[in-house]
Chain A
Amino acid sequence: MGFHHLDHYAATASPVTRTAPAARVLGAVGLALAASLLPPGAWAPMAATLALSFALAVAARIPPGVLLLRASIPLAFLVLASVGILFMAPGSEVAALGPLRVTGHGVVLFASAIARGAAAVIAGVVLVSTTPFPELVAALRELRLPRPVTSSLALAYRFLVVLAEEVGRVRRAAEVRNGGRGRVAARRLAVGMAAAAFARSYDRSERVFRAMRVRGYRDTIPGLTYRAVDAASALRVGTLLAVAAALVVAGRA
């Protein structure tokens, strides 16, 4: 199973990849935070924050199609989670969908949530597309995220792939025996695969824990250091955060 494509833009030389991973994390989180602090209806600062996120994607040489594809799932969740605002906010009715009333205030809140969320999602996509997972975990460690969190992320990265390969093997074993044809059979197969994946992941976790203990594991996974934040990275991310802060100030003025 190939996962090389996930790190494609991490290997592309760009101002973003030249920035140290910990600085990239700070920049992305800062931009997302700035977007979330903008008040509803502050359209100009919101558009500027969104433009800033897009500019990062362009600087990272991520094609629009790839950006949209990677952002589509979190954006779909965002729309789903925010759609209720359209109907629940107080205010005068501007449209009706059957028994549901859409209010003017609801539209403003909904559009603001989507715009702010989109800026944060795009910043996040740029971060994870340009930072290989090991460097991302090391950066989070450098930023003093609790060890259990970074250790869990490191193990999850490795074993999601192992688990995906195991599920793939179970699926192929079923398919070569014509398993999963028809809706009911497909559902049964999916349930069986989920059960097999759970059982195998449990077994796997036991074996991995043994391998860890043999190599001296006690209660934390120690980490290697990667690229430290250099002056150029600090300057780049500092500029980005200053612009984001200025937009928040302008939006809240």
Chain B
Amino acid sequence: MPARVVVELEGVSFAYHGGSGVLDGVSFTLHAGERAALLGPNGAGKSTLLHLLVGLEQPSAGSITAAGIPMHPERLVEVRERVGMVFQDPDDQLFLPTLVEDVAFGPLNQGVAPAEARRRAEEQLGLLGLGAMAERAAHHTSGGEKRKAALATALVSRPELLLLDEPTDGLDARGRHAIVRLLGERPEALIVATHDLEVVRAVCTRTLVLDGGRLVADGTTSEVLADTDFLARHGLRVPLE
């Protein structure tokens, strides 16, 4: 039986008010458990595409289905319960006084009782190796720990689809390795917007390339990363073996 469709974009276009188009006719489908990288130069529309998938922006044309739910203002709560997003800067994501409160924020908004939300948050932090830091403020943690805590805020709700915006940005080799290992073990469908082609190679089986708001490639990671001329034309550089 074919895997369930988790993401479906049909001719999606987007433009900011009074601005030129950011996305132009983007279409693709992602199935349950599939791990896709979203590549492209700066300004290609990667972050905007992720924002569209959690309803932070509305497309000017086309249709979006996320976590199997057609995107509609009345169904945003449902979508956001089933789609986890990790933003580029963990300081944007960790806004409460302690890590455990930040991780419990999503479940509490879903109506989970405080004691159960705390249990789930502590469990999730423990699974990511941050159990001892649950009561710490984010400013008392390292960059790598912040990244993991930000990931925990998305994973605690057990999403079907996980969206990550530059998850290894600013991390050292050890931090990147930890994030790669974590993502490699996740069962959810993933879309990872990144410039880090080593992470793409290690985590994603499929690669989408955006340039100038258009989807210019959609194939297996090995195929896309093998075409160095194509990557260079779109402002990307293949990592050394």
Name A residues whose Cβ lies closer than 8 Å to a Cβ of B: 1, 3-4, 132-134, 137, 154-155, 157-159, 161-162, 165, 204, 207-208, 210-218, 221-225
Closest chain B residue, CB of each to CB of A162: B91
Name B residues whose Cβ lies closer than 8 Å to a Cβ of A: 51, 54, 56, 77, 80-81, 83, 85, 87, 89, 91-98, 100-101, 104-106, 108-110, 114-115, 117-118, 121, 135, 137-140, 153-154, 157
Given contacts A158-B95, A221-B96, A221-B105, contact A210 B87 (CB under 8 A): yes
Contact, CB under 8 Å: B56 / A161: no
- Selected from B104, B109, B117, the residue in CB contact (under 8 A) with A218 is B109
Interface centre among B94, B101, B110, B157 (most CB of A within 10 A): B101
Closest chain B residue, CB of each to CB of A225: B114
On chain B, the residues within 8 Å of A212 by CB distance are 95, 105
On chain A, the residues within 8 Å of B94 by CB distance are 158
A-B contact pairs, 25 of them (CB 8 A): A1-B139, A3-B139, A3-B140, A132-B135, A133-B97, A137-B97, A154-B96, A155-B96, A158-B94, A158-B97, A165-B139, A210-B56, A210-B87, A211-B93, A214-B54, A214-B83, A215-B105, A215-B154, A216-B106, A216-B110, A217-B105, A217-B109, A224-B101, A224-B104, A225-B115
Closest chain A residue, CB of each to CB of B81: A216
- In the assembly, what is the distance between CA of A225 and CA of B115, in Å? 7
* Secondary structure class of chain B's binding surface, majority of residues: helix
- Selected from A132, A207, A222, A224, the residue in CB contact (under 8 A) with B109 is A222
- In the assembly, what is the distance between CA of A252 and CA of B4, in Å? 76
- In the assembly, what is the distance between CA of A207 and CA of B110, in Å? 21
Task: Knowing that A214-B83, A217-B109, A223-B108 touch, tell me 20 more A-B residue pairs with CB under 8 angstroms.
Answer: A3-B137, A4-B140, A134-B101, A137-B97, A161-B139, A165-B139, A211-B92, A212-B95, A212-B105, A215-B80, A215-B109, A215-B153, A216-B106, A217-B105, A218-B109, A221-B96, A222-B114, A223-B114, A225-B114, A225-B118
* Nearest CB on B from A95, distance (A): 49
* Nearest CB on B from A145, distance (A): 15
- In the assembly, what is the distance between CA of A194 and CA of B140, in Å? 25
- In the assembly, what is the distance between CA of A217 and CA of B29, in Å? 28
